[in-house]
Structure formats: C-alpha cells, structure tokens
Structure 1
Amino acid sequence: MDTEPAVILVVDDLAQNRKLMDAILSPRGYVLLEASSGEEALGLLAERTPDLILLDVLMPGIDGYETCRRIRATPATAFLPVVMVTASGSAEKVRATEAGADDFINKPLDQAELLARVRSLVRVKRYQDTVIAQAAELAAWNRELESRVSAQVERLDRFGRLRRFLSPQITRLILDTGDESFLTSHRREIIAVYCDLRGFTSFAETSDPEEVMSVLGEYHQALGDLVFLYEGTLEHFAGDGLLVFFNDPVPCPDAPARAVRMAVDMRTSVTRLAEGWRRHDYELGFGVGIARGFATLGRIGFEGRYDYAAIGTVTNLSARLSSYATAGQILVTQRVLAGADGVAVSRPVGSLPLRGFSKPVIAHEIVGLIESTVVP
C-alpha cells in the first residue's frame, strides 16, 4: 500500500477558510497546498499534481465552475478528483456537476463529512494512479516483448540464411558476434572437397523419379550430417554432386586433415547405403576429390536468393579429381596430402590427365585413416 501522504490543493479566496481546512486535514497526515484564486490554482497544477482539489465556488476572477472546466480540459488533470465547496442549493450543485465536479461539501463545513469525502476520493485517486502505473508498465513490457520478438525473428531469419551453407556451430558463432563481414568478397586458401555418385546418371535415366528422390534423400542426409559434424562450409548440392570447403569463413588450422577424415567417413556412410541400394538393383558407387588452393569467396545471387560460393581453380580441380575417381576412391592432390600428414594412409596414383587442366596433376589415393586420428 502507498504510504506517501496525500496532497490536497485547497482553493479559496478567503484565508480563514483555507486555515480551517488546514486545521482539519493537516493533523490527519494530509499535505496541503493553498491557492487564493482559480488562476493561482491552475498555475500550481502546471507544476505539481495533487491527489485531490477542494475548490470553492464563489471566487473573484475565474470562479470555481470555470476553474473546474479548465482542470477537466487539461489532459494531465482531466481525471483529478475535484470537490466543490458551496453554500448554495441544488441548482448550484447541478452547475458544479456540469463543470466536472466529483463531489460537494456544503458550508458551513462539517468536519466528519469533509474527512469522509476526502478519504474516499483520495482512495479512488490512488487506485487510479495504480491502474495508470500498471498500464504504463504493461505498455513498456509490450514494447520490450515486441522488441525481443522482432530481434528473435531477425535472428531466426539470419540463422535460416546462414545455416544453408554453414554448420550449426559456425552459424551460432556468427549470430552471437553479429559479424557478417565474411559475406563480402575476399580471397583465402581453402580445402575443396567434391563428391558424387558413380553410375548416378544412368540410374536416374532408368528409374522412376520417386526412386531417384528416395536415394538422393538418404544420400544427402548422410553426407549433410558429416559436413556439419566436421564443421565444413557447404557450398551446394547439385543432384548427386556436393561441394564442401574448409578454412572459410572460420579459419581452420587442420583443414586438410579435417577434409580427409570427413571424406573417409563419407565413404563409409555411402558404402552402407549402397548395400541397401543394391538390394533394389541400384548399382551406385561413391567418389571424392580433394584439392587445396586459393579462391575468391563471398555471397553471390540476388535479393531473396543468395548463396555463399567459392570461385577458383581449386574447386574445379576437386571436381575433376572426383570425376576421375572410381567407386570408393578418394583422390587428393600432393598439397592436401602434405597438410594431412600423419592422418591418413595413402598410396600414389601418378599423374592424372584431368579435363580443363593443361598439365597432368599428381594425385594420391586415401586408403584409410591412421587409428590415432579422432573426429573433431
């Protein structure tokens, strides 16, 4: 309960009447403000809002009726309790009601009646203040809630855009920092991993679309989980072809080793899937190519449809290695193998004449992983 003393403004042109009000109300804990005219009362109200006004009707200048009308016309005091003090009859009370008075006290003053009306209207004013304060607090909460919801919607929208090509871990990191500078075009060395299915073209030509979609769904799910597990950046799915790269947008000091481990796990996963596909007479194999080199990276596309892409010879080289690989092969360049030293068991496959490259490319096949290597 509010323990602040109630403030009462007494408006009367006669000093003895104001002193009488003070003698009755001050001992009861009320704080009194005094005004000797309607003009003075309106001036005080512009500076401080009391809990109640005791307003004499007959005053020189602006009388009580006009003062009350002006109080009601001012938004800050429109609902302020006003008690008109009058010695007149019922006709004057009607005028006071029309002017906006809440209650009346007759002269000569009855002390008990005055105290009862003051207590009642002060209690109403305090309830009104509570409602107004609660409404303001609720409005503030609503604004904060709207702001939080708007921020969360924006966060979810950004998360939806970023998670299309980034792992959940990296997406959360970018959302937490708010840094999207990586989306602008930049140059960086990356490890590009390209993989696709051997025999997919003939399979798609001779199978029902539903069968093709079922195979692709299983294939994409298995590979997508591993891309996220190893925190690779997914550039795109294109049918059975998939391009992932490491060391961008987040630097990855073990990028070659991470790419090789992911490729080996991908091969294992697709091998399991292929066993089920063979039961349906689908002969599909899996090949991977991994290359290392510089690329230009950044956001490409148009409003409403953006991708995060790597442009450069390194992505083409990984795709060509993948095309050259037989079912179950993972082919890597010399630079990738050097970066993954101590991670994988490999064997040389010699210089490969790859389409689009003027010189043969020295390649190695990843046979398996050294047992001491672990998943990130």
Structure 2
Amino acid sequence: MEPVLPCDAVPGRALVTGVAGFIGSHLCDALLHRGTRVVGLDRLPPDRGSAAANLRSSLSHPAFDYVRADLRYDDLATAVAGADVVFHLAGQPGVRPSWGEAFPEYLTCNVLATHRLMTECERQHVPRLVLASSSSVYGQIAAGDRCREDAPARPVSPYGVTKLAAEQLCLAFARHPTAATSVVALRYFTVYGPRQRADMLIDRALRAALYGAPLRVFGDGSARRDFTYVDDVVSATLAAATAEAQAEVINVGGGRSVSVTELLEVVGQAAGVSVPTSSTHAQPGDVGATLADPRKAGEILGWKPHVDVTTGVSRHLAWMRQHAPDSPDTAGEAAS
C-alpha cells in the first residue's frame, strides 16, 4: 500500500476536477495560495461564462494549468500524472432535474466518469483522492436528528443515488488489498457563498432581495438545511488531502439547521429589505431537513466550521453587490 502524505504536508501538485465550478474554483485559489502547483480540469471553455469569471485570478497564475477535458471520454493520463492528490469535484448537480430525461447525464458524469478517474489514479499510484459527495445520500431524516456517517444511506432522488454510487465505487478501490490510492469522501451539506450556482437558495434569495422579483418557495418554508459556507468547505477539503485515512466518509456541515423561513429573515436583515416570495408545492426529492453530525470531521480532519449563516450571508451579499448583473432572473429554487 502506498503511503499517504504526512498530515502537515502541502501537496506539491494537485489535480482539481470541476475546477471551473463554484467549490472547485475556491479550492484552486486556496491551493495556489498555499504554494501548490494546480492542474485544473473542466469541460467548460476557460475564456467564457462562469468559468472565466470563477477562474479570473487562477488563469493568470504561473502555477496553474488548465486542461479542458471531459472525464467521461478523454484521456486522463497527462492530467493525473505526478499528482500528490486528486480533488474530484466534477459532477452533474441538482436534485430536481435528475428525475427527468437528464438522468443519463447524471449517471455518466457522477458514476462512469468517477470510475475512469479512479482507475487512472490507481494505475498511476496517486496517494490520495478526495471525493466531493453530498448530504443527499442520507435521504429523509427526522426533524432534529443528525446525519451520522455510519447511518444507513437512503437517498430519495436519482441525484443522491448517483452520489452514493460514486462514493461506494471509490471506497471499493481504496479497500482493495493492493490499493495504491486512498480515498476520503466528503459529504458536503448545502454549500453557499460567492460564485454559488444561480439556481441555489441563498443566491436566489439575495437576488430577490436586491432586485425585487419574487422568490418561489417550494413548500411552506419549514424545510431545514445545514448551510455551510464555502470557505469552511474548502478548509475541510484541504485537510482531507493529508489526513490519516484509507477509505473514509466524512460529513462537512456546519452542525446547525436553519429553516427556509429563518434563512429569508437573515437575508432580509442583511439586505435591509424583506425578501419577496411566492409559494408552490414541495418537489420530488426534496428532503424535510438536513443536519450534519460534524464530530468525525473534527476527529480525522481536525476541522470545525467558523462561519455562521448570518456572517456568511453578509459576505455573500457583499460579493454579489460587486459582481452580480443588473437584472438577473430571480424566480426559482427555495428548498435546495
């Protein structure tokens, strides 16, 4: 079995898949700041749209190389070569669209692509792969209950099924007696912050407050989420690169659950105006609550969250006031 990096080591070279995305771009910035040489892989063109915006600082950094490739089809050998750690953040997101005709995209992006990447990591003896998973693998929990990593995983959406499948696939590789690549799968709980996808709740709520178009709320506002600020998620992800582990699943969540109604009050206080809303029925795959048990993250990663929802929303709002377009579409999700 190949040794992992010491816990206090800074990876000399890292591959980040999904680097043009929300979390991937923040992780890339943090790695470059720490002195790591980063290969960023994404299927998006780096000079257009969200990729160009998210990677604005990284693209000009001398220690950053962008590889435009599709994990499902393209050769991965060069991108993986020499990596001390691979951060696998690429995937097809979104609970509600996974019920429809787009499911083959979820299957190929979240499962088959992961298999191809894990196979290449094993072939090249990459010491560690850190997998971005999701709290969606847990499914429905009782109000007030905390999700523990050893609890049964019962996803209630096709998206959650594919994330659980990706987890189990990577762990199967890592548990093999001759495994060269160890795996830490991180179950992220409702990540938010600057560069968040525009279809997610906090981004939508802030836009509704700023621009006045009503936010469509699915359900009665009682759905609860464990919101986790992106800086906290990045610090946990960095810690997972060097933690003592062979095949682990770890929650990354703030450990506090906030209802949609409560969140809209926080957004309104930050923006200085109430969030206009309209209501519709709950959607298939939406769970009533998520709440992380963060103890394992503390034990293995030495991690705890530092940014509460009030602070995080204020930071997100300040960024949005600088970067948001003048007239965004604000109708949309409110229970993601």
When normalised by structure 2's length, the TM-score is 0.25
For the pair shown, the structure with the greater C-alpha radius of gyration is 1
Structure scoring higher RCO (CA < 8 A, sep ≥ 6) equals: 2
More helix by share: 1
More strand by share: 1
